[in-house]
Amino acid sequence: MDYVSATLTREEVIAYLTALPAVLSGLGLTDCTVMYGWDCDLDIDDLWQDQVIKVTDFSSFLTASIERGIFRPGSSDLFITSLDGAVSIRACHESDVHLSSSSDLALAALAAPIAGRHPEFTYKSGDSWQSRTF
């Protein structure tokens, strides 16, 4: 299931991504894949390419991506996925965050950094959008 947060400010997207390494580590992940997507400032051949990084290196990866102008929080896509694909996060170009996992425990942990200010997440069930509070 893909859960979508409320619209976030640029600062809220950055705060969420900054909190993410602790969340991922808490879920037992040591490595993840990251991928630049829509509207990142790279040649097309460099977009949509998985890069495996250590979770502990994510903060420096994020900082470098923002400083170099590759990733613009709230305006471009950045995908973060566990190596087994069980957990997926997308900081979306529409200034929200998409969370996906079959584990309710993982979803609650992934939503926690946002849920204090924005507890309502939406998801599509059949042809209609539903709401879930974390």
pLDDT for position 20: 98
Residues sharing a CB contact under 8 Å with residue 54, sequence separation 6 or more, in sequence order: 30, 31
Taking the mean position of all CA atoms in its chain, how far away is CA 68?
Answer: 19
Q: Which two tokens stand for residue 114?
A: 């946002």
pLDDT for position 43: 96
Q: HSE of 72 in the Cβ direction (CA atoms, 13 Å)?
A: 10
pTM (2 d.p.): 0.96
Written as tens digits, the pLDDT of the chain (134 aa) is 899 999 999 999 999 999 999 999 999 999 999 999 999 999 999 999 999 999 999 999 999 999 999 999 999 999 999 999 999 999 999 999 999 999 999 999 999 999 999 999 999 999 999 999 99
Tracing tokens 């994020």 back to the chain, one arrives at 62
pLDDT for position 1: 84
Beta pairing partners, 80: 34, 89
Q: Which two tokens stand for residue 37?
A: 């997507």
Taking the mean position of all CA atoms in its chain, how far away is CA 15?
Answer: 11
- Report the alpha-carbon distance of residue 81 to residue 101 in Å, rounded: 10
